[in-house]
Structure 1
Amino acid sequence: ARQAEELMEKDGRFKLFVRARMGLVCFYVAFGGRELNEALLRRVNESGKAFLIHSVVDGVHFLRLAIGGLEVDTWHIENVVNVLSEALTDVIDENPKWQELQRETFASAA
């Protein structure tokens, strides 16, 4: 789970809600709010390549990825983060509002 966190942080578009515990990675998209997180959740789950669930705590909508199993290795972690990253790119590319939010978010961070 730590490797997934590191890869998500490296992407820059994902933020951790809390640090992983027992293989559970809790994260959200750094911009776009609930609507974008829900769109990402749907896209990933509909792809069949990974399965996410969501939660809301204190008004923060975040996604949860459970990483576990005896046979999980580095390749699996890299693959699932790539699935998330590609799905997020696709969802953003389909919505001019999210494209603009992404530009604004990362322009202000530079």
Structure 2
Amino acid sequence: MAKVFEELVRSEKRFEVAAPRNFSMVCFKVSASSTLFKHENDDNENQQKLNEVTETLLEKINESGKACMTHAVVGGMYVIRVAIGASPTEEKHVVGTTKVVQQYLDAILSS
């Protein structure tokens, strides 16, 4: 199921997988290709803004109670970690979780 989640994240241009999937763990973040970011900013400024948006996204997801995820900092990037390993997890649960992530990012980007 983690592979399914990873594939769904990869298919959404506003996200990118930040580290290779390891067993049930997928690490992802908001992508720089998101319409929120202007490329004339320097790399440090863009990375800081990406980190802030990714952190806000994680907070909103966890506050909702619809999913529970954690974070890590990988090479200066704030990433969201999701572990999908429970036996009864079905594809519909993974798809639903992906939709929750997308909905909260939509809300952040539109505000």
Name the TM-score, length of structure 2 as normaliser: 0.80
| Deviation at residue 91 of structure 1 after TM alignment | 1.0
1:66 matched residue in structure 2: 83
Gaps of 5+ in 2: 33-48
5 Å-filtered alignment, 1:73-92, equals 73-92=90-109
1:2 matched residue in structure 2: 3
More helix per residue: 1
Secondary structure of 2:28's aligned partner: strand
| Deviation at residue 8 of structure 1 after TM alignment | 1.0
1:103 matched residue in structure 2: none
Secondary structure of 2:107's aligned partner: helix
Q: RMSD in angstroms over aligned alpha carbons?
A: 1.0
5 Å-filtered alignment, 1:24-63, equals 24-31=25-32, 32-63=49-80
Q: How many residues align?
A: 94
Name the TM-score, length of structure 1 as normaliser: 0.81
Larger RCO (CA within 8 A; separation ≥ 6): 2
Secondary structure of 1:80's aligned partner: helix
Q: Which runs of 4+ in 1 moved over 3 A?
A: none
Q: Separation in 2 of the partners of 1:42 and 1:60?
A: 16
Q: Separation in 2 of the partners of 1:53 and 1:91?
A: 19
| Deviation at residue 89 of structure 1 after TM alignment | 0.5
Gaps of 5+ in 1: 95-110
